[in-house]
Amino acid sequence: MCIFCKIVNHEIPCHQIMEDDQTLAFLDIKPVNPGHTIILPKKHYKNIEEISEVDLTALILVIKKVGELLKSRLDVAGYNVNCNNDPLAGQIIPHLHFHVIPRRFGDGCVAWPQGTYGVGEAEEIVKKLID
């Protein structure tokens, strides 16, 4: 059983923000910024491709609620929503989860680098994705 399933089953304590029948939200133990929250489905899904549309909808609605709480109660300027989907993308715990990371001006948190497409590269990718 994964560590997040143990948290869902209350075998491991957490700093819970909210819980309903389908989801659980709690503070990350290694926060990027204070208020950094993990939101996950209670049912174990390895990644975003496995989750049902019903559970994904419930999850995104909780993400919205947590974001609203961070802005209104912690007075943050904004927040990032991040999902590391599969190990290559940085997913450490194999239970689908989202990070909601509060942002403050001057917090030093940097987003990923942005690149550019080479000549014809974007068109080739679009062709592969829609054909």
- pLDDT for the residue 18: 96
For this structure, is 97 an active site residue?
Answer: yes
- pLDDT for the residue 56: 97
Size of the chain in residues: 131
- pLDDT for the residue 125: 94
- What is d(CA 121, CA 89) in angstroms, rounded to the nearest whole number? 22
For domain 3-130, give the fold.
HIT family, subunit A (3.30.428)
- What is d(CA 51, CA 59) in angstroms, rounded to the nearest whole number? 10
> pTM above 0.75?
yes
- pLDDT for the residue 14: 98
Tens of pLDDT, residue by residue, the chain (131 residues): 899 999 999 999 999 999 999 999 999 999 999 999 999 999 999 999 999 999 999 999 999 999 999 999 998 999 999 999 999 999 999 999 999 999 999 998 887 788 999 999 999 999 999 98
- pLDDT for the residue 1: 84
Q: What are the two backbone dihedrals, phi and then psi, of residue 24, each rounded to the nearest 5 degrees? A: -140, 135
Three-class DSSP category at 89: helix
Catalytic residue (one of 15, 36, 95, 97): 97
Domain spans in the chain, listed from the N-terminal domain onward:
3-130
Give the number of other Cβ atoms within 10 Å of residue 20's Cβ.
Answer: 12
- pLDDT for the residue 55: 96
Residues facing residue 24 across a β-bridge: 19, 40
- What is d(CA 15, CA 24) in angstroms, rounded to the nearest whole number? 11
